[in-house]
Structure formats: C-alpha cells, structure tokens
C-alpha cells in the first residue's frame, strides 16, 4: 500500500465510494447503421426524464444546441430530432449528450455506424468507460458489429453491454435473443472483455430500457439503465494505479514558488511522498499540493493540481512525475497499434509529428508487422495503412519519452500522429511495449565531434539537396558543382540516385513505400557525412515534400540547402536521356514520377533554378554562389 493510502485511507475510501455511486460515466453507443442508437438515446432521455440542469443539450459538429422544456418533451419529436441530425450530414462527427440520474451523471458519445466514419467512432471511444453495442434482433451480428467490437476492445473499454434491439419486431422471441447472444459470445472470446452483458430490448417501445419488460418474462437480467448506473467507472481503477502526473505547465510566478501543474491521470499522491521525474530519472519529495481553492494533503486521479517539490529539479512541459516506487518506463522505440484516419496512406519511413501527453516528438513507423481484418480478426501482411485500416507497427521516435502500456494507462500510453505538411490528425495509436533494442542500444559519446572534423577542412558541412523531375539535370548540375568544389580544395561527396540504387538501396523499387524508404536511408547517410565535416550533394527526384522535410529536420540550422531544379514535364520528356519517359508512356514502367506518380514541388527552396533560362554550367555556378553566401565555403 502506498504512503498516501497509509496516510489518509479513510479519505480515499470515501472518494472511491462517491465515485462509485455519484460519479460521471462516459459511455459510447455504437453498432451498424439503423440498429436504433438514436432511438435508444431518445428513449433514455424521455422515459427517465434525464435532464441535465433542466435542459437537454446536444453538442454536434457545428456546436448547434437544441433542447426541451422540462417534462413536456415528446418522445416522437425527440427521436425525429436525433434522426434529423443524420439527414443533415452531421454524422461526420461524434454527437455528445449529457444527462443525469440521482445516482450518476452521464456523457454518451453517439457515433456513426458507417465504416467510413471509423475515425469518429475511435474519437468517441477514446475516453469512454463502457460501451453499449446495438444489434438489430432481425439481422443479428453484422460486419460493423464485429468492427466496432474490435475497436472498443482495442481502445481499452472493458465493460460492454450488447443491446439486442427491436425485440418487438421478432415477437420478443427468447430463441432469437439466445441465438444472437451465443453468436456474439463465440466471436468475443478472442477479444477478452472484462464484463459482457446482454439485454433484450425495444428502444422504440421502452422494453428493458428503464423498467423491466413484462413482455419478456423469460429475461431476468438488468435493464439498460440499471446496468449504466452500476457498471464500474474507470476512475476507480485509475485511482489504484501507479501515480502519473504529465506536466502541462511550469508555474513560477516569483522566485519563492515553482510548481508543476497538470492533471493526475492515475494513482494518488500525498505530501511527503517520494516521486521520480521522467525522462531524467531525478527524484524528490512532494512539499505541497496546490489547487485554486486550497492546499491538499492528498490528490487522486482526475484532479488538476500543482505539485511543489522539496528539491530544485529541472522539469519541463511534457515530463511525467511518477511514483518513485513504480515509475513509468522511458523508451524511443515501441510496438503499437495504429488506427489510420487520413485519406493519405501511412507509409513506413515517413516522419510524422507525434503527440503523447504534453510531449511533441518526431515519429516514424519503421515497419508494419501486420494489418488486422477487423471482421475476422485475421492478421494480414501490409506495406501501408489506408483510411480506417488498423495495423500493428514498430514505431521509432527522435527522443525517448516516458510512457505506460495503453492497456494500463490510456493517458500515458495513447498518442496521435499528425501530418507534418497538412497538420491534420492522421492516426491514433496505442503503445504496447518498448522494443528490447530500445533498452539495449545507447549512444556512445565520442571525443571528436563535427565541429572538429569541419575545422581541419576549413569549411562548414552541409547537404545540398537537389530535387526535380527525372531528366531535369540534377545529376549533371551536382557533378559540375562537385568539380568546382574539388578545384577549390573542398571536401565533398555526391550521392546520386541511380548510383545509390546499385548498392545501398538495390532492394527498393519505385512504389510510394519504397520511395519513402529510399529517401529515409539517403537522409541518414547524408547526416553521417555532414557529421564527418563534408559538403554533401544529393541528386534525387525525392518527389514527396514530407521526406525532404524529414531530411531537413535531421540536420542543424543552415545545414540543409534545398535546390529545386525546375524543368517542365514536356521538356524533361523531350530530353529523356535514359528513355524512361517513353517506357512509362508505353506502360512498361509503373510509378514513374510525372506520369503515373506525383511530384510535389518545394514551396520555399533555398535556391530555385529554372533550367529553361540557364545552362547546366550557369546553374552550377549559382549553387556555388549560394554556398558562399551561406558561409559554407569559409
């Protein structure tokens, strides 16, 4: 038992009791299209008169709110209103509805049933304690039933109620209910929910929603509302987990006060308790627990607090304060599950921005172990993840972060991936565990550094990254530039696209996935050469902005000079020195940039060369002049 539990056990018991009986339950309704989700929510609100602050609020994509007056609500109008939201196209976002009873307050996420809105179902389920899975008694277990069940389990929801709806349309037949229950239990054996409850009901007529139905005397289980009022709230479990406080803000209004603010996402912490700051690993004790109202002697999961520590420790936003006896892990490589939410596919090797807690890091999927067929739970090979796909992947970060497995703590184990070019949320993920090599591989400190290597060469190392269509003249220009650098006594190296594909990248083709990996490897090699003090020239089509920006991010300020060798497609085809465009036009060469594969021009290159207005020699001279202006040549 922790120090906090020993200190004020009575207070904790009272808190847990209050959470159990008067807490907030977040739950999600999900299932296939037309299974009756909106009707069920309407029935809950109508029959039980569950009015939060005397008003029914529906928060939807456009933030429009509508409500009713007290008990005068009409059930048919309410259901029509819920259905109207679907007709207006509001299904692209999750609708949250707020209500309460004497025992509990509720937030229900009403999610769309269509497969194309999987991302919205994930959004609604990510904070839910429980799920109500709707099944039409006439149709039984459908594809979307299985898909949503898998997602609910993947997102850590442990308590599921299968609402077998529209029993009135099958004459309240016990055999129908039992058959569906048996079918679902057989499927759910592979998922391992903590609790699984089945309720036969009619949302339209109110059977077993609030009151036990006389039409189904053969059913002896709880009503839907009875289950909602007694199912365990996740806060109870989190209070018993190891303490975690992700630091949101360092509060230092004056020299006498330095506090670390955030929400306690799990566990308990008391004044005098020993804590560890991660990823640094430094330890201290809690001197004060500050809130806006008063200091506390104990804080528990769910409370927003500011911790003041007894020792002066360097702590920043994104660090995690953990229980010293049971700290979070720290790693930079993981196995994880990813639900892909973007129209553009996830490609291994492409860099994304990753948000985990208050941390922002650069993340790359290094390998897709398999994709999951959520209808059969079959594991399938995959080289990319398309919209709504779910895969088990290996993930590599640019620095180590504190974390817990998602199964233990959603807040410290869940993350999102953001497209670095569009800033769209591209995927949601759940960390499983750190890869073993993340613990066994450490950076070795070296006595000779980049500055020393560059100093003896009398130059500032950098990468000159030439990008453009095939036939634009990249290799010709780069070759001329290196020749001039040699005559000046400079130390350089030219990485040419074709030459590299004869060796380092001979295993790669020209699919989008292989192009991404091709540039990732080149960027890593170029970074090592810059560390050696060299001026590195690269001549690659490098068609994707994301990979060029990844290469830029690997280097220091001013070490990446992007040169756009701009040649119209018609002129590049006319030149066609290797006959590649002709092959592509005949269909003999697939995924050829400019023909059946895209090229994304640099929006703001350091140097823009229009090859229709200058010769290769003139272009090379412009590159040399740019290097001189940048201070590369001393």
Q: Are strands 24-31 and 105-110 parallel, antiparallel or unpaired?
A: parallel
CA–CA distance, 563 with 551 (Å, rounded to integer): 13
How many CA atoms lie less than 13 Å away from 606 in the CB half-sphere? 23
Taking each helix axis from N to C end, the angle separating 474-487 and 616-629, rounded to the nearest 10 degrees, works out to 60
Q: What contacts 148, CB < 8 A, 6 or more positions away? A: 30, 31, 121, 131, 133
Instruction: Report residue 459 CA to chain centroid gap.
Output: 42
Active site residues per annotation: 542
Task: State the Cα–Cα distance between residues 372 and 626, nearest whole angstrom.
Answer: 50
Fill in the DSSP letter of residue 200. Answer: E
Query: How far is it, in rounded angstroms, from Cα 201 to Cα 134?
Result: 10
d(CA 527, CA 556) in angstroms, rounded, equals 10
Query: Strand, helix or coil at 83?
Result: helix
Identify how many contiguous H helices and E strands the chain contains and give both numbers.
Answer: 19, 29
Distances (CA, A) of 66 to 40, 69, 84, 159, 557: 18, 11, 12, 31, 52
Structure tokens at 337: 């599950």
CA-CA distance, 547 to 553, in Å (whole number)? 10
Extract the tokens encoding 343: 């129209």
Q: How many residues make up the chain in this entry?
A: 634
From the CB of residue 176, how many other CB atoms can be counted at a distance below 10 Å? Answer: 18
Sign of CA dihedral 235, 237, 239, 242: negative
Token code pair at residue 422 = 């569009």
**Please, are residues 411 and 247 in contact by the beta-carbon 8 Å criterion?**
no
Question: Which secondary-structure segment (H or E) carries 575?
Answer: helix 569-575
For the chain, the farthest-separated pair of C-alpha atoms sits apart, in whole angstroms, at 96
How far apart are the C-alpha atoms of 463 and 175, rounded to whole Å?
72
Helices (H), 356-505: 410-413, 436-440, 450-455, 474-487, 497-501
Q: What is the DSSP letter of 320?
A: E
Spatial distance between the Cα atoms of 340 and 429, rounded to a whole number of angstroms: 9
Q: Which residues contact 510 (CB under 8 A, 6 or more apart)?
A: 590, 591, 592, 597
Is the peptide bond between 547 and the residue preceding it cis, with omega within 30 degrees of 0? no
Phi-psi region of 282 (alpha: psi -120 to 50; beta: other; left: phi over 0): beta
Kindly give the pairing relationship between strand 560-566 and strand 607-610. parallel
CA angle 202, 206, 210 (to 5 degrees): 115
């Amino acid at each position: 038992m922790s120090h906090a539990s020993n200190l004020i056990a009575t207070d904790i018991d009272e808190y847990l009791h209050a959470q159990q009986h008067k807490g907030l339950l977040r739950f999600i309704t999900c299932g296939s299209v037309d299974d009756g989700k909106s009707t069920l929510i309407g029935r809950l609100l109508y029959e039980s008169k569950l009015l939060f602050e005397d008003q029914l609020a529906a928060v939807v994509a456009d933030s429009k709110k509508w409500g009713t007056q007290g008990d005068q609500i009409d059930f048919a109008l309410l259901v029509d209103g819920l259905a109207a939201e679907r007709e207006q196209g509001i299904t692209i976002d999750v609708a949250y509805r707020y209500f309460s009873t004497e025992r509990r307050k509720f937030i229900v996420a009403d999610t769309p049933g269509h497969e194309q809105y999987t991302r919205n179902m994930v959004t609604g389920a990510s904070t839910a304690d429980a799920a109500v899975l709707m099944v039409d008694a006439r149709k039984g277990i459908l594809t979307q039933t299985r898909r949503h069940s898998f997602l609910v389990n993947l997102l850590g929801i442990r308590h599921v109620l299968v609402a077998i709806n529209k029993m009135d349309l099958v004459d309240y037949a016990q055999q129908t209910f039992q058959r569906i229950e048996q079918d679902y239990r057989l499927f759910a054996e592979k998922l391992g929910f903590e609790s699984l409850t089945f309720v036969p009901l009619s949302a339209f007529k109110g059977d077993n929603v609030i009151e036990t139905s006389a039409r189904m005397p053969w059913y002896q289980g709880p009503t839907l509302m009875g289950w909602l009022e007694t199912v365990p709230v996740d806060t109870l479990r989190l209070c018993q987990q190891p303490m975690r406080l992700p630091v949101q803000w360092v509060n230092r209004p004056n020299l006498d006060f330095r506090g670390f603010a955030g929400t306690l996402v799990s566990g308990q912490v008391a004044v005098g308790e020993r804590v560890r700051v991660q990823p640094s690993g430094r330890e201290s004790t809690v001197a004060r627990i500050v809130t806006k109202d008063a200091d506390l002697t104990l804080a528990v999961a769910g409370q927003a607090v500011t911790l003041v520590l007894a020792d002066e420790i360097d702590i920043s936003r994104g660090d995690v304060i953990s229980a010293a006896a049971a700290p979070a892990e720290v790693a930079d490589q993981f196995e994880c599950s990813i639900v892909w939410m973007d129209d553009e596919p996830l490609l291994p090797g492409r860099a994304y921005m990753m948000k985990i807690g208050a941390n922002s890091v650069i993340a790359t999927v290094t390998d897709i172990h398999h994709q999951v067929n959520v209808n059969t739970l079959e594991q399938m090979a995959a080289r990319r993840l398309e919209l709504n796909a779910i895969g088990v992947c290996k993930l590599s970060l640019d620095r180590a972060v504190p974390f817990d497995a998602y199964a233990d703590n959603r807040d410290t184990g869940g993350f999102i991936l953001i497209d670095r070019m569009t800033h769209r949320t591209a995927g949601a993920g759940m960390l499983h565990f750190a890869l073993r090599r993340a613990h066994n591989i450490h950076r070795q400190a070296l006595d000779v550094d980049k500055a020393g290597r560059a100093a003896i060469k009398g130059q500032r190392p950098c990468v000159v990254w030439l990008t453009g269509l095939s036939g634009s003249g990249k290799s010709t220009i780069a070759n001329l530039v290196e020749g001039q650098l040699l005559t000046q006594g400079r130390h350089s190296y030219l990485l040419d696209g074709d030459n590299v594909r004869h060796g380092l990248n001979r295993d790669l083709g020209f699919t989008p996935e292989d192009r991404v990996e091709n540039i990732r490897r080149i960027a890593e090699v170029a970074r090592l050469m810059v560390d050696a003090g060299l001026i590195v020239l690269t001549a690659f089509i490098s068609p994707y902005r994301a990979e060029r920006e990844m290469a830029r991010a690997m280097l220091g300020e001013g070490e990446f000079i992007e040169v756009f060798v701009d040649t119209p497609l018609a002129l590049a085809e006319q030149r066609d020195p290797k006959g590649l465009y002709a092959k592509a036009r005949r269909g003999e060469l697939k995924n050829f940039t400019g023909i059946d594969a895209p090229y994304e021009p640099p929006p703001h290159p350091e140097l823009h060369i229009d090859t229709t207005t200058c010769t290769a020699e003139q272009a090379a001279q412009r590159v040399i002049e740019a290097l001189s202006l940048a201070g590369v040549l001393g």
